[in-house]
Structure 1
Amino acid sequence: MPATLDMALVAALDDERVDWRYKAMAPAFWGMTVAEVRDRRPRLSQLPTPLMTLSRPALDHNRDTVARWCAERRFELAPHGKTTMAPQLWAEQLEAGAWAITVANLAQLGVARAYGVSRTMVANSVISPLALHWIADEQQAYPDIEIWVWADSVRTVELMDEALNTRALQCGAAPAVHVLVERGGVGGRTGARDLATSVRVARAVAASPHLVLGGVAGYEGALAHDFDEQSLQVVRAYLRDVVEVHEQLVAAGLYDDAVPPVVTAGGSAFFDVVGEVLGPLVDTGTRVVLRSGAYVTHDDGFYRDISPLGARPRTSGPALRAALHAWVRVTSQPEPGLALFDAGKRDLPFDEGLPEVQLRRPRASGDSPVPLDGVTVTAVNDQLGFLSFDPNGAPPVRIGDELRLGLSHPCTAFDKWTLVPVIDDPDVNDPVVVDLVRTWF
């Protein structure tokens, strides 16, 4: 069954009052609730720059496209909630059939539980006794929830078992924690680097009275950053290693026959290869879980170029659409060929490529947006961005112009905004704000 969350708590976000704490909101809206702002359907021109927005049509399209892609292959989807840390968007993904929400650490798990997410996967090892005690308490208080964690060494399992045993002695037994054995790849991130280690970890989990061996996990995205054939072969070989661990655990009889084992992989860059290699496991009764997160907004940079449903598709289905945009204002033209705008590293992602200039908003009523070519973002400081263009021609921008930027890498965009306006159409003269999304970082 898909996971659930507490929709009443999500709805209660409408009652939050906006003020100076939310840089997306103009002073004219300070003191209003989120619902009151939304009901006024303000225009983009009524919000200050710098600003980041989400496109409602693109969000809907991306969410439904990947949900359908998984359903057609009988995969489960546990989208990585860390991308947005927005319970409103998690609720939409769960409503579309997501099996769980994936997070990366205790703080993010705390947000998920605060909003009542019933099944959560922590895509990391959890070895802090404080974190494990809290997980045990949470499971004891809410016996129907599921919290899944990863382990890549016997030492990790020992630390988990010790902490959970201590808590059981103090407070009584709690439902066991589901553990996935993490298989890593050479040059990748965490994860056991060979089959023998993976099996030893699984045996240690199976032997613990406080843990349940749930399956095998992996992450292929750290092993390649393009999609030439050599990179795809590296990803395929790694995913075959993940499958090999799972098959060994089946052969050893380490799984509980009453519970379908989970094999999970998949960021937003190579989910086509995950489908290719892990797909056959579905016919064996295995639950194959994709954990993509960035797909929900896609982008105008890294994922546009590498996604299987990006600019150069590698799988069937509609192309994903960029839902993220920044809106900035030109504030200075100190020399020919140079202009600066009012957003920097504290407002815009820059780790997977700098923003790209897309269009200039209308300068006067009745004008239309103007696509801009030959204008490039060359750098960002803390609060300023640098535009470069031909110093010998007529300047394509002037002080006061508002520009739309395409962004690269959703995972480092959302953490810069606590409240994100959702607009009806980023291509029209003056988009309408149709919602506000609250993030928790």
Structure 2
Amino acid sequence: MRGMDATSMDMMTTPAALVDLDRVDANLKRVATYTRQHGLRWRPHTKTHKTPELAALQLAAGAQGVTVATVREAEVMAAVCDDVLLAYPPVGAERLVRLMRLPPQVRLTVALDSGEALELLSREARRAGRTVGVLVELDLGMRRVGVQSPEDAVALALAVTYSSGLEYRGITFYAGHLRIPQAELGPAMREQAARLATYVEALTAAGLRPSTVSGGSTPTLWRSHEVTGLTEIRPGINIFNDRNSVSIGACAWNECAYSVLATVVSTSVPGQAVIDAGSKALAKEDGFTDTGVYGALLDLPDILVRGLSEEHGLLDLSSTAWRPRVGDRVRVVPNHACASVNLHDRLHLLRQGTWAGTHAITARGW
């Protein structure tokens, strides 16, 4: 492999998750510049890396808080950040009890979309003697979670204001359904802005104008300023980027900071090579713009991973003259970095192409 310290990499057991810190730095600098230019708060979603050291880099680059999806992520990130948003319905006794045990200095906010979740959260907050912020979650087209009308949002926000232990802090949404090329995003972003405006207007008329309007994603990151009223964004993948992000123009290939180091273990079948990174290392997710492809080689992006079983990845060599040998090592950029990271227990760090240590993926699983 070009640009890597041969001694360190040759000793590494594969498959192994690699992070190029120089690219991470550049990715963080880019989003920090963008958010400053457009007056947006930056609250990155740590589900991508699940690593407190990388959250600390995001905070040092200008992030004002972090987003988490699990209680375990909240517990881990609380060690480096005192402003945490749980962007997941806080339902379940164990989840709530553990949330209330976060250090008292942590400004905790949760997203919810139901009276049932609100009542449970209020009860546990009272028991713990702490105040928990609430963002009312809206469905602006994702069709996953979120209240379905401005009237529902007003009713739930009012219920929050009357619930002890809770503080109404605004609204949140996730437009994860917008996974299309950047050049085609314009109409979708305008529709998102128009739908959001109906919620903000209804809440404002009810005396509940949201101080926080939280949204954003990596696919829509660079168009976030087109959504009038948005106050903060929560991109996750952009710290690493991945093949999906490249496929829709959300980043360039040379901005992909995450890859999986793999070893070629077989070349017996004509037209392909087999690597030791399968679905348990790369994650078996189709791409945004194609199916049956699960990644591509970092140094040779035209060479695709066209088949995955648990421990085998199949490199399609049918359109290239490149022929690897058994024992050669390659780096694969997966379709979805978040899903791949969660399959590993540590990140191996590179700085200027040289091995620079490891970080445990402390918040994985659980």
Provide the TM-score with structure 1 as the length reference.
Answer: 0.73
Q: Please tell me whether residue 418 in structure 1 is matched to residue 320 in structure 2.
A: no
Pick from 118, 124, 129 the counterpart of residue 82 of structure 2: 118
Larger Rg: 1
Partner of 1:56: 21
Q: Is the 8 A contact 1:103 1:109 kept in 2?
A: yes
Partner of 1:136: 100
Residues 123 and 187 of structure 1: CA distance in aligned 2, closer, same or farther (over 3 Å): closer
Shift of 1:372: 8.0
**CA shift digits 1:145-192 (9 cap, x unpaired):** 210001212333233234434x26xxxxx2321000111034522001
**CA shift digits 1:404-425 (9 cap, x unpaired):** 3232211112112222111134
Partner of 1:326: 260
- Distance in structure 2 (CA, Å) of the matches to 1:330 and 1:320: 23
Residues 161 and 356 of structure 1: CA distance in aligned 2, closer, same or farther (over 3 Å): same
What is the aligned length? 353
- Distance in structure 2 (CA, Å) of the matches to 1:43 and 1:145: 39
Counterpart secondary structure, 1:91: helix
Residues 437 and 201 of structure 1: CA distance in aligned 2, closer, same or farther (over 3 Å): same
- Partner amino acid, structure 2, of 1:78: R
Partner of 2:164: 209
- Partner amino acid, structure 2, of 1:434: A
Q: Is the 8 A contact 1:133 1:164 kept in 2?
A: no
Partner of 1:367: none
Partner of 1:84: 49
Provide the TM-score with structure 2 as the length reference.
Answer: 0.87
**CA shift digits 1:16-75 (9 cap, x unpaired):** xxxxxxxxxxxxxxxxxxxxxxxx996323323322211121011001110111011111
Counterpart secondary structure, 1:347: helix
Residues 372 and 276 of structure 1: CA distance in aligned 2, closer, same or farther (over 3 Å): closer
Counterpart secondary structure, 2:88: strand
- Partner amino acid, structure 1, of 2:71: L
Percent identity reads 24
- 1:22-41 residue pairs with structure 2 within 5 A? none
- Partner amino acid, structure 2, of 1:50: P
Q: Please tell me whether residue 389 in structure 1 is matched to residue 317 in structure 2.
A: yes
Partner of 2:213: 263
Partner of 2:333: 406
Partner of 1:29: none
Q: Is the 8 A contact 1:129 1:160 kept in 2?
A: no
- Partner amino acid, structure 2, of 1:254: L
- Distance in structure 2 (CA, Å) of the matches to 1:394 and 1:262: 54
Partner of 1:432: 354
Partner of 2:235: 292
**CA shift digits 1:111-167 (9 cap, x unpaired):** 223x242010001221323333343343xx62x3210001212333233234434x2
- Partner amino acid, structure 2, of 1:96: A
Partner of 1:344: 278
Q: Is the 8 A contact 1:236 1:273 kept in 2?
A: no
Counterpart secondary structure, 1:72: helix
Q: Is the 8 A contact 1:217 1:242 kept in 2?
A: no
Pick from 303, 306, 321 the counterpart of residue 378 of structure 1: 306
Counterpart secondary structure, 2:266: strand
Residues 67 and 200 of structure 1: CA distance in aligned 2, closer, same or farther (over 3 Å): same
Partner of 1:151: 112
Q: Is the 8 A contact 1:150 1:179 kept in 2?
A: yes
- Distance in structure 2 (CA, Å) of the matches to 1:272 and 1:394: 37
Q: Please tell me whether residue 177 in structure 1 is matched to residue 138 in structure 2.
A: no
Q: Is the 8 A contact 1:177 1:211 kept in 2?
A: yes
State the Cα RMSD in Å.
2.6
Q: Please tell me whether residue 249 in structure 1 is matched to residue 213 in structure 2.
A: no
Residues 215 and 395 of structure 1: CA distance in aligned 2, closer, same or farther (over 3 Å): closer
- Distance in structure 1 (CA, Å) of the matches to 2:331 and 2:307: 16
Partner of 2:291: none
